[in-house]
Structure 1
Amino acid sequence: MNRLTDHLIVISFDCLSSLDFPVIKNLPHFQELLERGSYCANVESIYPTVTYPCHATIVTGNYPKRHGVVNNTFLQPGRVSPDWHWHRRHIQGTTLFDEARKAGMKTGALLWPVTAKADIDYHMPEIFANRPWQHQIPVSLMNGSFFYQLEMNRRFGHIRKGLNQPQLDDFVLESALHTIKTKQPGLLLIHFTDLDTQRHYHGFSSEEAMDALKRHDHRLGRILTAVRESGTAEHTTIVALGDHSALDETTGVQLNVLFREQGWISVSPKGKVTSWQVYCHSCDGSAYIYIRNKNDQNLQSKVHEFLLQLAKEERNGIEQVLTADEAGALGADPRCSFMLEARPGYYFKEILEGDFLHRVTKEDVRDKRYTYACHGYSPKKENYSTFFAAAGKGIRPHQEIPYMRLIDEGPTFARLLGLDLGDTDGSVIEGLLKGEGE
């Protein structure tokens, strides 16, 4: 398969929404990208619309039920800080960066989710020190490119302030610029989370979120400049995309409190889960309900009726109760027993004690126990799509794609690079790509 480009840079602006289009189209560097290239302001994400499943979908072209990353975190009942799907091994099947390496391309990834321990040349994985005895820098070094990360930390580590934003994205930006200029990989994946962080802790349309959009425009401009300075501009495709949108919320729905009252979860005096039969595993705007013994039809029926009764009252915050088959048909985890969709203004928490419904306070948000906005909701919700733009080699200019899906991005990237992801859920967006002779 012929390559349409020599260098593909994919920039993921986490939580970039279609609703941001009226703003970013007037920011200078997004405007430059839009004037040079093509875009879609109506990209349907996947279910659940959370970061790790979304980014696994972008590089595979498949729904979560096929690539296996069905939530950000693992099902670890009662754990205060569950482990995330950090590692490449959690993705089933091949990926864009795997196929690029097989084809002999140099690859890079900066804080791209679900890549820890991946075979990537210039690699700074997104992974947290999640144990008391761990330190962030050694954890990152051992799960990515050791000497490359040492060099990036030596050059730019002074910018970072732990995981705080916007300093983290500024560190990632400087690392990306250096990589573009000195390494010139065939595929470079970059993940920025500044906007997502501001929306969680200040609200979707907050001043802080709008400031993050402006910072992202500046970051995009720095990348465009670095590509020009590297001498590869005529041979490079640049993509700016979002993974999901977000919605404001005010109330946490804490179903495990009720499950504990029903005797389906047992907790020690110190608050540790000692046993469980039924558990609510949050995806923020949606939630998986897992029954430990899925063959227990009697319990299955009891739980289903219990959830349906709760959903009858709007104040309980449950908009829809899906069966496992219905969840699977939407691309989510078919191994769950049920999946719940939250009503607008609500989201799910895995809290085990306290009130079933918790009204979020400023103190909660300040202490990062709760948020003011989140995602994870059904991609079918109104005004809840994300964004995609591409410009450069192999891209037709001045095309407005009316609708596409997140699952279509991976196959489209593969076509640009002359790669094959195999049988995918998504399809190539032919209208974006130049044909022979164009």
Structure 2
Amino acid sequence: MKPKYLIIISFDAVSSHDIEKLKELDNFKYLIDNGSLLTNVESVYPTLTYPAHATIMTGMYPKNHGIINNTLNKFSDVNPNWYWYRKYIKTNTLYDLASEKGLTTAALLWPVTGRSKINYNLTEIFAPKPWQNQIVMSALSGSVKYQLDLNKRFGHLRNGLSQPALDNFVHESVKYTISKYKPNLLLIHYTDVDTNRHNHGYDSKEANDALLRHNERLGEIIKTLKENSIFEDSTIVALGDHSALDGEYLIRLNSLFRENGLLKVNDNGIIKSYKAVAKTCDGSSYIYLKDKNDTETYNKVHDILEKLIDNPNSPIEFILNSKEAEDFGADPNCTFMVEANLNYYFVDEAIGDIVEKIKEDEIGKVSHRTKATHGYHPKKANYTTFFIACGKGIKKGVKIDGGSLINHGPTLAKLLGVNLGNTDGVAEDTLLDL
């Protein structure tokens, strides 16, 4: 039997490595014991939040759904806009098909849903420019009355993007949304663990405390479903989008290109022109040529990268050409894609040392840097995520070691009774009892 209510909860940056911890937490343990579990789920390349969440909604690789990075390719923009809007996705989405079927849909900070047809939509959108207003941007990209209502009721819990305040705001909004609207498809994105891993490191106390808070949030969602008499007709899916890896060194490819005459910057380090430019995905980086047919620049960039990788202490693990990057599901329009070695990640700055060890301030925080990050190749060791499903339409006791993020979309579509069409992934029928 298909569920009447499908609740999909994304616990950003929670990984397969966390499963042993989750098994000790009562609410996650309940889902695992009474449902099905996939461990070592391989994410997509690059392993970033926006490409991954678009994959979950479409069953497609980034090269096919169009969300090839978190942020847009605006090379002269220090803080470019993100892929916030539904228009950037080139294929069917789960939430569109649910709406077409007449189902009620709701989303809370689920990436790449701005200006979509979701009925109740609190969009994930930032105000990266000084002249931009967060409230106005949110209102124009989501459900205006719904968002104003949530902010009036729970806005006092919020403190910008800081955690756990942001997830506390989202969480109270989730419980209210379930009680008032009872959506057939509910998408929830919690970022508490991700933020604390960035700020404090993968296995930090702060990140582990965030896991405990996630367990409490999960328990309260279960309680809210029961209080509204819809738990028995519901399926809860708890999943991760990617893992994270600690890093101590940053890499400035654009500074390397500047030194080799491949790009020019102004006095503030802003890129004014380029023959070749790097675009960070954190653990990996795209490289684009201004002119794809510029053979001289292509060869020069290739030689520069080869010299860098030949260094015994190279910060780069490997280099992919455009076709090789596309074969792994990444942007086919890039000229190269480079992968950072363990303990390294990329930034887009065009001024500064090529490789620099990040520095902590007096209280142990990394100023404008990150202690753990993602975006690496999905086949990196100990770098997978998870998928748990429990409730109507899900078998009990299925445990599978191995999976792929591209399979989530087709699996969730079967639970909803919709068809995503031709996808890169296939449904995990072993988990389903429909």
Please tell me the TM-score bracket, short chain as reference: over 0.9
Could you say which residue in structure 1 is the equivalent of 2:127?
A: 129
Could you say which residue in structure 1 is the equivalent of 2:171?
A: 173
CA distance in 2, matches of 1:308, 1:4: 53
Amino acid in structure 1 at the alignment position of 2:380: K
CA distance in 1, matches of 2:62, 2:367: 27
TM-score (norm 2): 0.98
Tell me how far 1:315 sits from its aligned partner.
2.3
**Which secondary structure state, in structure 1, belongs to the residue aligned with residue 329 of structure 2?**
coil
Could you say which residue in structure 2 is the equivalent of 1:310?
A: 308
Tell me how far 1:368 sits from its aligned partner.
4.1
Could you say which residue in structure 2 is the equivalent of 1:103?
A: 101
Could you say which residue in structure 2 is the equivalent of 1:81?
A: 79
Could you say which residue in structure 1 is the equivalent of 2:406?
A: 407
Could you say which residue in structure 1 is the equivalent of 2:111?
A: 113
Tell me how far 1:353 sits from its aligned partner.
0.7
Tell me how far 1:269 sits from its aligned partner.
2.4
Query: Is the 1:202–1:372 contact (alpha carbons within 8 Å) kept by the matching residues of 2?
Result: yes
Could you say which residue in structure 1 is the equivalent of 2:390?
A: 391
CA distance in 1, matches of 2:194, 2:267: 36
CA deviations over 1:247-282 (Å, ceiling 9, x no partner): 011000111111001111111223332211111100
Match of 2:328 among 327, 330, 348: 330
CA distance in 2, matches of 1:234, 1:293: 58
CA distance in 2, matches of 1:273, 1:285: 22
Could you say which residue in structure 2 is the equivalent of 1:320?
A: 318
Amino acid in structure 2 at the alignment position of 1:188: L
CA distance in 1, matches of 2:267, 2:136: 35
- Which residues of 2 match residues 281-300 of structure 1 at below 5 A? 281-300=279-298
Tell me how far 1:135 sits from its aligned partner.
1.6
Could you say which residue in structure 2 is the equivalent of 1:146?
A: 144
CA distance in 2, matches of 1:368, 1:177: 35
CA distance in 2, matches of 1:170, 1:315: 43
Cα 1:138/1:396, change in 2 over 3 Å: same
CA deviations over 1:42-73 (Å, ceiling 9, x no partner): 11100000000000000000000000000001
Query: Is the 2:5–2:183 contact (alpha carbons within 8 Å) kept by the matching residues of 1?
Result: yes
- Which residues of 2 match residues 60-75 of structure 1 at below 5 A? 60-75=58-73
Amino acid in structure 2 at the alignment position of 1:387: F
**Which secondary structure state, in structure 1, belongs to the residue aligned with residue 370 of structure 2?**
coil
Farther off after superposition, 243-252 or 134-143: 134-143
Q: After TM superposition, where is structure 1 displaced by more than 2 Å over at least 4 residues in a row?
A: 269-272, 363-368
Could you say which residue in structure 1 is the equivalent of 2:11?
A: 13
Which sections of structure 2, spanning at least 5 residues, go unmatched? none
Query: Is the 1:401–1:431 contact (alpha carbons within 8 Å) kept by the matching residues of 2?
Result: no
CA deviations over 1:376-428 (Å, ceiling 9, x no partner): 01110111100110100000011002221000001000000100000000000
Number of aligned positions between the proteins: 433
Match of 1:31 among 29, 32, 40: 29
Could you say which residue in structure 2 is the equivalent of 1:254?
A: 252
Tell me how far 1:156 sits from its aligned partner.
0.6
Amino acid in structure 1 at the alignment position of 2:426: S
CA deviations over 1:292-334 (Å, ceiling 9, x no partner): 1011112111111211111111423000000100000000001
Match of 2:92 among 91, 94, 97: 94
CA distance in 1, matches of 2:94, 2:367: 34
Query: Is the 2:55–2:405 contact (alpha carbons within 8 Å) kept by the matching residues of 1?
Result: yes
Tell me how far 1:78 sits from its aligned partner.
3.5
CA deviations over 1:17-38 (Å, ceiling 9, x no partner): 0000110110011011111111
Tell me how far 1:363 sits from its aligned partner.
2.9
Farther off after superposition, 92-101 or 34-43: 34-43
CA distance in 1, matches of 2:59, 2:301: 34
Please give the root-mean-square deviation of Cα atoms over the aligned residues, in Å.
1.2
**Which secondary structure state, in structure 1, belongs to the residue aligned with residue 387 of structure 2?**
strand
Which sections of structure 1, spanning at least 5 residues, go unmatched? none
